[in-house]
Amino acid sequence: MDWSEVILLVAIAAVLFLYIRLMLKNKRLRQMADEANRLRLEAAEAERRNRQLKQEMTSNIAHELKTPVSSIRGYLEILLGDKPVDDERRRHYLQRSYSQTLRLSDLIQDVSIINKLEESADLFPRSEVDACEVANEAVGDLADKAAAAGISVSNHLPPMPLRGNRELLYCIFRNLVENSVSYAGHGISITIETYEPIRTASANSQFSILNSQFHYIHYYDTGKGVPDEYLARLFDRFVRIGEGRSRADGGTGLGLSIVKHAVLFHGGEIYAKNRAEGGLEYFFSLKKQ
């Protein structure tokens, strides 16, 4: 082989090397372009979904406001009308109007909490708080309502110190208890306790570290539970387990959605299922720091 052939082979090898390098570079560029395009599509889809959720919430809020506003307007039109109204009916209409204003106030407060959690969660201050004490407070505030329905509530939580927001922790326990009192049936019992998460295939040391970072809470009632088809949507906004259920009982339809948002705010997770023995149960975690 003479020098001309060697030079030719070297030149061919150099061209092949440059060609392969260029192909690999183009492949990486295409992969980067595909990834960037995927991220743009995901961002666009997230923005579209966010707009849709806001539109749905606005529509639902308008729908929820319509009933109490119409009721108040109707009662006031009667009271301000030309026909005389006796004292008993007047008092009845005023009481009904007042109960509807309370419902409006609750709805406005719940909507404000959800919007604040979604848009400006950092506005909720954190401090050292005991989840057990907050649960006791929520149970105490609902004691009369529970007793009227023949419902017993037992809080078996040990001291649970964590760094969180007291208002949101209170919302978790109050909304869960209030939901059971309103919908689970009369004469039932409610229990709040801890539970041990199921060990996974991960190493025991990893499990122990994870276990030490969270408080695990089990909440359940012995009521009638909910149809299985509603479980996946239980934490959605304005979900009705039966037509008009929340309206009839004075709820806003946002309580369990606030519970989920508040748990997520505290770095935890929550899920619900029907108990084999009857009733509904929730398992959720709260991060200690």
pLDDT at 20 over 60: yes
pLDDT tens readout for residues 125-169: 999 999 999 999 999 999 999 999 999 999 999 999 999 999 999
Q: What is the pLDDT of residue 204?
A: 47
pLDDT at 233 over 60: yes
Record the pTM.
0.72
Q: Are residues 239 and 259 in the same domain?
A: yes
Q: Are residues 74 and 140 in the same domain?
A: no
Mean pLDDT, range 234-260, rounded to an integer? 70
3-state secondary structure 177-206: HHHHHHHCCCCCEEEEEECCCCCCCCCHHH
pLDDT at 248 over 60: no
User: CATH number for the domain including 236?
Assistant: 3.30.565.10
Counted domains in the chain: 2
Q: Are residues 138 and 101 in the same domain?
A: no
User: CATH number for the domain including 72?
Assistant: 1.10.287.130
Q: Where are the beta strands (DSSP E) in the chain?
A: 127-130, 152-155, 161-164, 189-194, 214-221, 270-274, 280-287
Q: Are residues 78 and 142 in the same domain?
A: no
Mean pLDDT, range 268-275, rounded to an integer? 93
Full domain range(s) for residue 116? 1-123
